[in-house]
């Protein structure tokens, strides 16, 4: 949704409020800088009239001291002005980036299923980065040049209001082209940042999927994708550069029209004797110095327009409303007994129905397996129980309490998940295992690794538990990564355990030992197991067969075989393939 510049300015101003002290200190220092420039120009009149024309040697000896003194005051003022205003700008941008990152983490899985990670990364890094650069330039030069310009304007009107009025007659000629150029800069800057989002997406996908790219020999295809998006980014940034480059010549042309008029009229007045040479020289110096801040403020205006394009994208993400809402009356349930119930649950991804009138009751400590063809809704059941998504209809209960009335922190503390996607962080094995339980002791980490049969390979590594495993655990095999994820879930010690294809990446030998570890882990815990290998769920207390979002069969392994239905066909298909 497009936002007006006014609303964007207000939102950015709210972030500046905590640092108003720094900003005011910078403004005070800017007054010193502007005052030094105006004083320097004001000294031109006595310099010409009293020294060059009048021949006062006493005043001539004071000139170097005055110039050095003004330079010292200006230098001190510039230092404090730039220091305070730049640090204020950095703190503002830091707060925006912090809020943007925190808000991104709070968004539901539905948002990430429809948005590319690269685009989100681009907003957090590139757009906020542009805001950071622009804020520094805008705050530093905007404050200083505005005050200098104001002082010089006051000086020229004080010196000769008629000449000043003539000089300012050309200002309307600057306003309209600057407004047009600024609008174009904002439009193309926003489009350029969107193109940068696509470019970041291509880069992120390529680096994350480098193994697939090399396996299929598609380096050239990916290179062309990157070149295409890179060219699109250049297309928009070229327009920003074009309009930005046009602004200075426009201001300069209009300025020289005013200067020409002032020169002609001023010379006529000096020749007529109604104005001294010193007054005219002082006025001319002030006017020439005045157009320099105007040109720099034009640049600042262009920076502001670029920043507004980025601010629009940043606040667009900040305004994204999470699908998962925690009601104010939500409660903490402590450690749950582990009773889980799905009551007439309906769920769809956009218009694609996944679960229909889904009813399932799981008693505390019971092991329930969800099986069935792909796309039947098995992983969705896990996603709904963890509140990655909320159902469109029905209720999900834990110990008789609707999970929408439970705080997210309390809900997640009661659930441990081992997903089919074994995601590990680029950190040590020890820190990956205790992710989610940062206070766990080294002894506890090593014990759960033993229970997950991960200590066997960990101790063979050069640095043992302190071994860094690379991005996504790339230095480990699939089975090793899976066992670390299982160890992480064991350490969680939650009463409800969710295993979504937890042994899918293991070979037969590893699967056997991990199944034994999982059997020990499942004791006195409510466990939902999703598996395509029926051999891993044959001993479950209850097996639920899901087909197209509906429960078509339910019972123990033997009961389902006796039904001679979907489960039996799946069983015979898998075991016939083994022999």
Q: What is the pLDDT of residue 20?
A: 83
- Whether the CB-CB separation of 311 and 8 falls below 8 Å is answered with yes
> Which residues of the chain are under the pLDDT cut of 70?
1-5, 44-61, 63, 132-141, 143, 170-172, 211, 215-216, 472, 502-511, 513-514, 517, 520, 575-579
Q: What is the pLDDT of residue 579?
A: 42
E strand segments, 350-494: 352-362, 367-371, 393-398, 401-402, 415-418
Domain 12-318 classification at class level? mainly alpha
Q: What is the CA radius of gyration of the chain?
A: 35
Task: Please report the sign of the dihedral spanned by the C-alpha atoms of residue 478, residue 479, residue 482, residue 484.
Answer: negative
What pTM value is reported for the model?
A: 0.72
User: Right CATH number for 327-414+532-579 from 3.40.50.460, 3.40.630.30, 3.40.50.300, 3.20.20.70?
Assistant: 3.40.50.300
Q: What is the pLDDT of residue 5?
A: 66
Q: Where in the chain is the domain with CATH 3.40.50.300?
A: 327-414+532-579
Using CA atoms in the order 225, 226, 231, 236, what is the torsion angle rounded to 10 degrees? 110
Q: Residue 489: which of 408, 404, 422 has the closest Cα?
A: 422
Residues with Cβ within 8 Å of 251's Cβ and at least 6 positions away in sequence, in order, are 174, 178, 291, 294, 295, 298
Q: Where in the chain is the domain with CATH 1.20.1560.10?
A: 12-318
Q: Residue 291: which of 138, 141, 137, 149 has the closest Cα?
A: 149
d(CA 158, CA 169): 17
């Amino acid at each position: 949704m497009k936002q007006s510049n006014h609303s964007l300015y207000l939102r950015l101003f709210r972030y500046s409020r905590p640092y108003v002290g720094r900003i005011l200190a910078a403004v005070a220092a800017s007054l010193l800088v502007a005052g030094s420039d105006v004083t320097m120009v004001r000294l031109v009149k006595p310099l010409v009239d009293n020294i060059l024309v009048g021949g006062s040697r006493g005043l001539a000896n004071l000139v170097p001291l005055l110039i050095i003194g003004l330079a010292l005051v200006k230098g001190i003022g510039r230092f404090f002005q730039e220091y305070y205003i730049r640090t204020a700008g950095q703190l503002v941008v830091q707060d925006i980036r912090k809020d943007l990152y925190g808000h991104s983490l709070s968004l539901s899985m539905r948002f990430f299923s429809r948005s590319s990670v690269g685009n989100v990364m681009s907003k957090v890094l590139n757009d906020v980065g542009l805001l950071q650069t622009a804020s520094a330039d805008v705050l530093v030069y905007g404050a200083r040049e505005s005050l200098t310009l104001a002082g010089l304007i006051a000086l020229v009107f004080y010196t000769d209001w008629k000449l000043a009025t003539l000089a300012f007659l050309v200002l309307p000629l600057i306003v309209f082209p600057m407004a047009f150029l600024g609008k174009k800069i904002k439009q193309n800057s926003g489009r350029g940042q969107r193109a940068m989002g696509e470019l970041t997406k291509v880069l992120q996908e390529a680096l994350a999927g480098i193994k697939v790219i090399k396996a299929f020999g598609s380096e050239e295809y990916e290179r062309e994708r990157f070149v295409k998006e890179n060219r699109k980014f250049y297309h928009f940034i070229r327009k920003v550069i074009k309009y930005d480059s046009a602004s200075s010549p426009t201001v300069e042309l209009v300025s020289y029209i005013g200067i020409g008029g002032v020169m002609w009229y001023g010379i006529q007045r000096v020749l007529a004797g109604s104005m001294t040479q010193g007054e005219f020289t002082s006025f001319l110096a002030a006017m020439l110095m005045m157009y320099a801040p105007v040109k720099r403020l034009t640049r600042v205006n262009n920076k502001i327009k670029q920043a507004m394009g980025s601010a629009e994208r940043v606040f667009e993400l900040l305004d994204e409303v999470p699908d998962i809402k925690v009601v104010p009356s939500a409660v903490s349930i402590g450690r749950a007994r582990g009773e889980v119930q799905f009551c007439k649950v309906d769920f769809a991804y956009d218009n694609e129905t996944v679960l229909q009138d889904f009813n399932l009751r799981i008693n505390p400590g019971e092991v329930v397996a969800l099986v069935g063809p792909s796309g039947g809704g098995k992983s969705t059941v896990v996603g709904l129980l963890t509140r990655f998504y909320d159902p469109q209809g029905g209720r999900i209960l834990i110990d008789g309490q609707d999970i929408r009335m439970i705080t997210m922190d309390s809900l997640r503390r009661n659930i441990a998940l081992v997903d089919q996607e074994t995601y590990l962080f680029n950190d040590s094995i020890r820190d990956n295992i205790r992710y989610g339980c940062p206070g766990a002791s080294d002894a506890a980490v090593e014990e759960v690794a033993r229970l997950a049969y991960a200590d066997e390979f960990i101790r063979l590594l050069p640095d043992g538990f302190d071994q860094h495993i690379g991005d996504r655990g790339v230095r480990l095999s699939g089975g090793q990564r899976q066992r670390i994820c299982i160890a992480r879930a064991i350490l969680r010690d939650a009463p409800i355990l969710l295993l979504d294809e937890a042994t899918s990446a293991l070979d037969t030998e590893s699967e056997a030992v991990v199944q034994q570890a999982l059997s020990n882990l499942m004791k006195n815990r409510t466990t939902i197991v999703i598996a395509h290998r029926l051999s891993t769920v044959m001993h479950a207390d209850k097996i639920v067969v899901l087909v197209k979002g509906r429960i078509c069969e339910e019972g123990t392994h033997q009961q389902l075989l006796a039904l001679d239905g979907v489960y039996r066909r799946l069983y015979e298909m898998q075991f016939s393939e083994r022999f």
